[in-house]
Each structure stands twice: as structure tokens, then as C-alpha cells.
Amino acid sequence: MRSDSYVPRPAEGRLGILLPGLGAVSTTFIAGVELVRRGMGRPIGSLTQMGTIRLGKRTDNRVPAIKDFVPLAGLDDLVFGAWDPFPASAYESALVCGVLDRHAHVEPIADFLMGIEPMQAVFDQTYVKRLEGLHIKPGTSRRQWAESLRDDIRAFRARNRCDRLVMIWCGSTEVYIRPGAVHQTLAAFERAIDQDHPEITPSMLYAYAALMEGVPYANGAPNLSVDVPALQELADQQGVPIAGKDFKTGQTLMKTIIAPGLKARMLGLDGWFSTNILGNRD
């Protein structure tokens, strides 16, 4: 049995958080971080900020905070960027989405939120039929869009003097498509980009651009996105981590908690019903 040891490098310098989608999820995340940084809130629900890890035996009483045990970026090192098919700033978007209380959570950091304006998005209404993009990238081909995203990533890195970047998909859920031949190998995927193949979705282009620039990518929606062999091959080739099939923060989370328990106790069901109340621009 092979065992390799790996010591992570210290998390030094600025960490850029790139968010495709500047809606309810992104603005809540951004505002929450800024409120904590200003001492106006607590990071409730944050594993990295409030979670602990047990070391050794229970009787050893060694339970440090995860952020003190693992070299993670501090909140003060985070800088945010986003793309969105609507031109509203993070401030305007937070007010429209209505998740945060305007007076308690938004207005106290209005100056910060107003400073985050989205870059033009890669947008194809085929995949989000109820939206009409108003703030979208010029160009008519997937190759042009992919290269434009890569340019955005490089420019953001330089402009904000970031040492590291990560990308988290926070856009609307795309129309489901089945993995096809164009998704099976990196060579086929890149040919499909050059041929402007319709089964290369916007979220796949964001993932492709991120990985090509050496940026880790996490998918927060139930899109195929990075969950295809071609992009997994690219991630492996670039040595860049990928993650995510959905945020699972609402009723989906409850199902993933309850279902294993029912199975473990061999409890039968006559039926299963749940309602996913989609909001904002989903």
C-alpha cells in the first residue's frame, strides 16, 4: 500500500473569488463576508470559520478550529469578482433579490457592494429560457467566448494583485443535457468549442476557461458543468481541483440527510414528495 505525505503551502497573499452569477447566492455570500470583516456579523454556518476538528483520542481534548489547523486564506485576503447577464452591481442585485435585510445588512456596506460590478457574461438563452441577457459578451462563437473569459481571469488577477484564484458557479441552473460524444475527451471537447457545438454550455465554458488558467472550479448548481470526462481530463492535466454538483442548501439538503437514515433503518416508504420553491432568476 502506497502512502504519500503532502504538506500544503501556507495560504499567503490575496485570494480572488470569481463568481459566474451575481444574484441571490453570490450577493449573500459577498455581503456576509464583508459584514464579518467589519465586525458587524458572525460567520454562522461557515465550516472554515466556525468548524472544529478533533485530533487524537476524545480524551485528549484537542479540538482546534479548522482555520487554525489547515492553512486557509483569511477573510481579509478575499477579493471578489463576478460575471452576470444583467449589469446591476452587487448592491443593486442584493436589493432586487431581497434575501438580505436592506437596513441591517445591505446599506451598512453599500459602498463596498457598489464597487463590485459584473463583467459581461457568456449567455445562451437556450440553456436558461426564461432569462433575456442584457449584459453579455460580444462575439458569436464559443471559442471567442472561452478566450474572452480567459482574458477576464487574467485581467482580474493582475488588477487585484491576486496570488491565487478560485471560481464558483453561482448562476442559474441550466437546461439538462445528456453527456454526449463531445464531452468524452478533452480533444473532442476542444474540437466542439471550435465548431461552436450547441452541447458546450456556458457553464462548461466557464469551467474550461478557469482550468486553462490554472484556477480551481466548484459547481454550485445541478448542471453538468465540470462533471464530464473531458473537463475532468483537463483538470487532471492541469493539476487543478474541481468540485461540486449543487450547493444543496435547501430542500435538497434535507433529502440527502433523511434518505440515508431511512435506508439504514430499512424503513419503507409509500411515496416521497417535496417541493423546490425556485426564487430569484431560477
**For residue range 220-255, what is the model confidence (pLDDT) as tens digits?**
998 999 999 999 999 999 999 999 988 877 777 788
Which domain does 225 fall in, by range?
15-251
Whether 1 maps to a domain, the answer reads no
- pLDDT value for 208: 99
- pLDDT value for 247: 83
CATH number at residue 30: 3.40.50.720
- pLDDT value for 181: 98
| Residue that is written with C-alpha cell 486553462 in the block | 212
More confident residue, 52 or 280: 52
Once rounded to an integer, what is the mean pLDDT over residues 42-68?
A: 93
**48-52, 74-78, 217-221, 252-256: which has the minimum mean pLDDT?**
252-256
Whether 53 maps to a domain, the answer reads yes
Q: CB of 113 within 8 A of CB of 89?
A: yes
Tell me the per-residue pLDDT of 165-205, one tens digit each, with 9 for 90 and over.
999 999 999 999 999 999 999 999 999 999 999 999 999 99
- pLDDT value for 276: 64
Whether 189 maps to a domain, the answer reads yes
Residues in Cβ contact with 172 at an 8 Å cutoff, skipping those fewer than 6 apart: 21, 23, 128, 131, 221, 281, 282
Whether 143 maps to a domain, the answer reads yes
Whether 9 maps to a domain, the answer reads no
Q: CB of 266 within 8 A of CB of 259?
A: no
- pLDDT value for 10: 83
- pLDDT value for 146: 99
Whether 39 maps to a domain, the answer reads yes
d(CA 156, CA 164): 11
Whether 186 maps to a domain, the answer reads yes
d(CA 73, CA 14): 8
* Residue-averaged pLDDT of the chain: 93
Q: In the predicted model, is pLDDT for residue 101 greater than 80?
A: yes
Whether 265 maps to a domain, the answer reads no
Task: Specify the number of domains making up the chain.
Answer: 1
| Residue that is written with C-alpha cell 489547523 in the block | 69
d(CA 202, CA 223): 10
